[in-house]
A and B are shown apart, each in its own frame.
Chain A
Amino acid sequence: MAGATANLEKIEGWDGQTSPMRASYGKLFMWFFLVSDALTFSGFLCAYGFFRHRFAGEWPDPQEVFHHFPFLHGKHLPLMYVGLMTFILIMSSVTMVLAVEAGHRKNRRQVLIWMFATIIGGFMFVGSQAWEWYNFIKGTDTGAVLYENKMYLYKVDHTTHAIDTTTLRFKGAELSKEESARIIASGEKFYGANLKHNEYGHIAFADFFFFITGFHGFHVFSGVIINIVIFIMALQGYMDRVGHYEMVEKVGLYWHFVDLVWVFVFTFFYLL
């Protein structure tokens, strides 16, 4: 409250009366947890950047991998679906922060409305990610050729996206027509990606994709669960009994962090 804040400004930190942080134990430690979690994600993204740089020649172009959109099969629409996912997550971040703001006014009805919207947004995002994984694992219509445990990719025209099924590429270098024909004849078709093989390019791309977006998706899912718990607590009037809605603010911090991580994943995985 305005009065309490004005009094607080007069109290000097470090004099034994009040904490220089001027924040509750719970909020402060939610922040510390998020700092450690942010460092975990930073480690992942640094490792991704390192591998990408190390195997630049054979690293798949994300726009050639993720170009699907629901109900528009066969159309080449890169960045559209992931842009929509980003929009959903930013939107749910806004509804979350509006719930926090309503909590500051102790308006239970608005807190419930906005938290409900956030939970819906969270489920939409997790569902979108499942669809993205499904397409990535299922693979393209043409696939690639697996021969002697090595992945040979078809040559792709980067402007027309036309696939030349008579010419193969290996480690970014094009093979001759004869060599390609021999490998196509004796190798087997491989579609999609798993942890061992990846039709789009270097295997580390698939590994990092599964690991980083999976870890992030798990964060989103746990965020939704925590949101539901806080929603039920608010519904039962717990926050009104203790006199403040700081729990909404704390779960809000976690939710915004999930959004923050996605902003970085979006940049490093899809844009760069």
Chain B
Amino acid sequence: MSEFHDPFPSYETMSQHDEAHGKKARRTLWNVFWLLLVVTIVEVIVGLYAVDWNLSKTFLKIFFIGFTLVKAFYIVYTFMHLGHESKWTKWVIIGPFTGFILYLIFMMVIGEGNYSMTKRLDEPAAKVEHVDGGGH
């Protein structure tokens, strides 16, 4: 197909399949769609009635972020076909991303973010900058 890489196997045609397999694949896709829809509706309902039901902020954070990660997993695994890629492809995508995210969260919670939170923004010189913005 292309002269830029080895002619066999032709990676572009690897994921092609016949009608019977396609039928099965489509059923999986629709199932994932219903799952995403139901999760979103549950999230909206909980978001609407969170105050009435006296749900705690911590519970809501875990609940929403947990369900978001569930949705993200299904989108990446099924819709983006990462589940069907080779083991190495999965790792070179998920590995570095997870590493950087953990680093980012670490820096935010323990590193610079924590310093800004506790020290820098409370200093008078820095506060002047934020009066216009923070004045509400």
Say yes or no: A149-B132 contact (C-beta < 8 A), given A54-B117, A97-B79: yes
B124 at the binding interface (Cβ < 8 Å): no
In the complex, chain A residues whose CB is within 8 Å of the CB of B96: 35
Other than A46-B105, A50-B108, A244-B16, give 9 A-B pairs with Cβ distance below 8 A.
A4-B10, A18-B6, A21-B89, A23-B86, A35-B97, A170-B136, A243-B1, A249-B15, A260-B80
CB-nearest residue of chain B relative to A14?
A: B88
A203 at the binding interface (Cβ < 8 Å): yes
In the complex, chain A residues whose CB is within 8 Å of the CB of B93: 31-32, 35
Interface string of B105-126 (1 = CB under 8 A from A): 1001000010011000100000
Query: What 4 A-B pairs have minimum CB-CB distances, sorted nearest first?
Result: A150-B135, A203-B133, A24-B11, A22-B86
Partner-binding segment picked from A133-141, A194-202, A226-234: A194-202
A39 at the binding interface (Cβ < 8 Å): yes
Contact check, A20 vs B88: say whether CB atoms are below 8 A apart.
yes
Q: Is the interface of A mostly helix, strand, loop or mixed?
A: helix
Interface string of B72-97 (1 = CB under 8 A from A): 10011011110001101100110011
Say yes or no: A8-B9 contact (C-beta < 8 A), given A39-B97, A267-B68: yes
Contact check, B136 vs A271: say whether CB atoms are below 8 A apart.
no
A12 to B134, CA, bound (A): 60
Interface string of A13-53 (1 = CB under 8 A from B): 10001111111110110011001001100110010011001
Contact check, B75 vs A105: say whether CB atoms are below 8 A apart.
no
CB-nearest residue of chain A relative to B75?
A: A260
Contact check, B136 vs A97: say whether CB atoms are below 8 A apart.
no
Say yes or no: A101-B75 contact (C-beta < 8 A), given A17-B6, A150-B136: no
CB-nearest residue of chain B relative to A84?
A: B44
Say yes or no: A79-B48 contact (C-beta < 8 A), given A149-B135, A201-B136: yes
Which A residues from 86 to 111 make CB contacts under 8 A with B? 86-87, 90-91, 93-94, 96-98, 100-102, 104-106
In the complex, chain B residues whose CB is within 8 Å of the CB of A72: none
A83 to B46, CA, bound (A): 12
Q: How large is the interface on B (under 10, 10 to 19, 20 to 34, 35 or more residues)?
A: 35 or more
Contact check, A23 vs B113: say whether CB atoms are below 8 A apart.
no
Sampled A-B contacts (24; CB under 8 Å)? A2-B17, A8-B14, A19-B6, A20-B86, A22-B11, A22-B89, A24-B12, A25-B5, A39-B100, A39-B104, A58-B134, A58-B136, A87-B40, A97-B29, A102-B22, A104-B25, A150-B135, A153-B136, A170-B135, A171-B134, A201-B136, A203-B133, A244-B12, A252-B79
Interface residues of A (CB under 8 A from B): 1-2, 4-5, 7-8, 11, 13, 17-25, 27-28, 31-32, 35, 38-39, 42-43, 46, 49-50, 53-55, 58, 63, 78-80, 83, 86-87, 90-91, 93-94, 96-98, 100-102, 104-106, 149-153, 158-159, 169-172, 196, 198, 201-204, 242-244, 246, 249, 252-253, 256-257, 259-260, 263-264, 266-267, 270-272
Query: Which of A5, A83, A196, A198 contacts B136, CB < 8 Å?
Result: A198
A263 to B69, CA, bound (A): 9
Contact check, A171 vs B136: say whether CB atoms are below 8 A apart.
yes
CB-nearest residue of chain B relative to A267?
A: B68
CB-nearest residue of chain A relative to B68?
A: A267
In the complex, chain B residues whose CB is within 8 Å of the CB of A25: 2, 4-5
In the complex, chain A residues whose CB is within 8 Å of the CB of B117: 50, 53-54
Contact check, B131 vs A105: say whether CB atoms are below 8 A apart.
no
